[in-house]
Amino acid sequence: MAEILTKPANSTQGTLHVWRFVDGKLGHEKQTLGLTQALAEKISVDVRDFDVRTSNTWRAEIKAHLQKRTHVQCRPDLIVGAGHATHWPMLMTRLFCGGHTVVLMSPSLPVGLFDLVFAPHHDRRRGANNVIETLGVIGPTQQSEKDANAGLILLGGVNRHFEWRDDEVFCQVESVMRANPELDWTICDSRRTPSSMSSALNMLADGMFTSWQDAAPDFLESRLPTAAQVWVTADSVSMLYEALSAGAVVGVMELPLKRPKRSNKLVRGLLKLHENGQIHLSHESPRMPIKAATSRTMSESRRCADIVLERLFFLA
């Protein structure tokens, strides 16, 4: 699939040809989309998507280059990917087709193989000049006018870092709703949410609970940008950072750790956000101080785009 993202007409820079490698995982694709969208705000960008689950897509490009059936304008300037399955295809494409490689998230291969690596701060990937720490995962920046009465609760579920207990999570949901009666709440579960929890939530007021199975594909994408307040369970890291990128005031429903004495990268990330005043933790209170949402908007994707242009293409 080809996609054209264009900066406003006053841009004087040339077009940046970006080949985006995707693996079919929504979380990974949102990260690379966030970077390409941020690049498109600064320079004219031509984006082509290559699904690594179908190897003939990117291999066909390599073959065409080896057989000299393409011209220089078709070569990638930038090769972007997230997820372990994208790493080797990205490197093979750079070897035969040229371009710079940018990988999002900590790679399974040595970081020195890539031109730039954007890794979350909590992964503790330090020491290499090509590794840039990010505050969590990057993603699309979605901003629009907030609905002051809209509240959103996003629930995760069974995971390897936290203990999930239906009754405790349900009590936190009820506490938040009682403490903020002026808001119209929408509660969403996820694929990891136990069916017992979803059944209990379904007993709440009509229209308040939306199951992921019944929601439209773009349900969250349409709700997050307008929600004034969002609460997320501690295990739902991707939803947390999407809510911050959307400029919402964000609270985290805390969960017991499975291994309290062992360092947990998700907890490190949450503590860092809390230290920076970007999130509110449930043990403080079920009611958050409402601050200007725009002052809390994360712009990691834009910061990363600036680094890509400056380091790899010498564009300030």
What residues does 186 pair with on adjacent strands?
152
Do 12 and 117 have their domain in common?
yes
In a domain, 140, yes or no: no
Whether 242 is in a domain gets the answer: yes
Torsion of CA 168, 171, 176, 179, to 10 degrees: -140
Task: Give me the pLDDT at residue 264, please.
Answer: 73
Q: Which of 130, 129, 116, 55 is nearest to 88 (CA)?
A: 55
The CA distance from 223 to 147, in Å, is 10
Tell me if the pTM is above 0.75: no
Mark whether 129 and 250 lie in a shared domain. Answer: no
Q: For residue 95, give the amino acid letter.
A: L
CA distances from 172 to 141, 155, 226 (A): 28, 11, 23
Instruction: Determine the pLDDT at residue 7.
Output: 40
Query: What tokens appear for 13 in the block?
Result: 């820079």
User: How many CA atoms does the CB half-sphere of 135 hold within 13 Å?
Assistant: 22
Distance of CA 75 to the CA centre of its chain: 27
How many domains does one find in the chain? 2
**pLDDT for residue 10:** 32
Asked whether residue 141 is domain-assigned, the answer is: no
Per-10-residue mean pLDDT of the chain, 316 residues long, equals: 38 77 89 91 93 86 80 81 94 94 91 92 70 79 78 93 94 93 92 92 79 84 87 90 84 91 77 86 87 52 91 83
Which residues are within 8 A (CB) of 43 and not within 5 positions of it... i.e. 6 or more apart? 7, 11, 13, 14, 15, 16, 309, 315
Q: Give the pLDDT of residue 292.
A: 39
Whether 123 and 159 map to the same domain: the answer is: no
CA–CA separation, 90 vs 102, rounded Å?
9
Q: Is 8 among the domain residues?
A: yes
Inter-residue contact 117 to 55 (CB < 8 Å): no
Domain with 22 in it: what CATH number? 3.40.50.2300
Q: Is residue 118 domain-shared with residue 52, that is, in the same domain?
A: yes
Contacts of 57 (CB under 8 A, 6+ apart): 50, 51
Calpha distance 295→247 (Å, rounded) = 8
124 plus 33 within the same structural domain: yes
- 117 and 192 fall within a common domain: no
Question: With contact defined as beta carbons under 8 Å apart, do 241 and 247 qualify?
Answer: no
SS3 270: helix
Q: Note the pLDDT of residue 71.
A: 61
Helix (H, G, I), strand (E, B) or coil at 64: helix
Host H or E run for residue 120: strand 116-120
Residue 205 has a pLDDT of 67
Cβ atoms of residues 264 and 187 within 8 Å: no
pLDDT of residue 216: 84
- Residue 304 falls within a domain, yes or no? yes
> What's residue 126's pLDDT?
61
Strands 147-154 and 45-51: unpaired
> Which DSSP category does 94 fall into?
H
β-pairing, 116-120 vs 16-22, is unpaired
- Tell me the two tokens of residue 22: 């995707």
**pLDDT (0 to 100) of residue 245:** 79
Query: CB–CB of 137/301 below 8 Å?
Result: no
Domain containing residue 217:
147-296
Question: Same domain, yes or no, for 244 and 211?
Answer: yes
CATH of residue 174? 3.40.50.2000
Is-contact 256 163, C-beta < 8 A?
yes
Q: Are residues 43 and 95 in the same domain?
A: yes
The rounded distance, in Å, linking the Cα atoms of 89 and 58 is 7
